[in-house]
A and B are shown apart, each in its own frame.
Chain A
Amino acid sequence: MQNAHLRLGLLEYHRITEKTSARIRVRVSSYIGEDEQAHLISVFGSDSDIGAITAAVHEKAYFTLTFPDGLIKEVTLGEHASCYRSSVILPGRKHPVRHLVASLSSCTRMAARTGQSFLVTVQRSLGVVVNLSWPSRCARVGKAHLRDS
């Protein structure tokens, strides 16, 4: 598909210490959350950026999430977050792009405990997508599909 930049979000992490100040910005391909509680974030970027975001997730840090429509929200994964990383090799590029999917440890099991339901449609060939046409607590940046059955 074309014009992917119009469907991608932006995740920003600002860390200030006594001597240094770092600002890391990565692109967001998928997001599921409720208010300030993020349930799943899929981001990609350079190796150092993804490493920093991974460390921030484990530190329960807050991130500034910018949606494609310009909406800005402070989100965090909180405790019990799991990070899954991989590399995406691009033709003609020396270094692969790093991909990170951070989610609450088995948010499906959490949904069962709290009685919450997440409307997530899955297309096996394209990965996980959340349909925007269904009113839900889920938010999604990127492609949207609905599986018929």
Chain B
Amino acid sequence: MPDLAPNACEPYRVPPTSETALSYHGLPYDLLEDLLPHSGAWKQVMPFLAPHEEVATGRPITPLHGGHVGLLCTAGLLNGVFGQGDDRHIARWRSVKHVTTFVEHDEENEIVHHRERWANELRLVYADGRTLKLTETPIRQEEDTDAECAPAARAA
């Protein structure tokens, strides 16, 4: 089949048309993005996902001593985001129940004892990914012998 020569036929010129406007009939995502946080579904989820917490605000009547600050921390009233730069971190206190189990042998019987005690621990998550868990119990010992759980009222 021979090649088609450049001037074999007259080129077709596309006729000019009037200006047209493009229209979008899909969902308006920008508007929806602004409206969705106010939807009823989010309002139903919020109490479960982010329960309201008491946070201490305002100026105290008298200057706080170190013991006062400690009491507020352990009560969970000073949770939040603190620090600047690499030291910026989330701090969260919570009460943890430690259960120590030990077995006592009495001749033929074996008595299992569960000793419960409550302690406070502080978890820190830094902006660069570091995490810290500060507790009164050594971590290794705690992992070996204790089981922990938090009360539902302190759920994060």
Contact = CB atoms under 8 A, between A and B. Distances in A.
Interface residues of A, number: 51
Given A85-B41, A106-B48, A146 B154 contact: no
A1 B30 contact: yes
A128 to B, nearest CB: 6
A146 B81 contact: yes
Interface stretch (B3-11, B61-69, B109-117, B145-153): B145-153
A5 to B, nearest CB: 5
Looking at chain B, what size class is its interface with the partner chain? 35 or more
A38 interface: no
Interface stretch (B12-20, B100-108, B123-131): B123-131
B45 A112 contact: no
Nearest to B43: A86
B28 A112 contact: no
A55 interface: no
B118 interface: no
Nearest to A40: B49
Contacts of A48: none
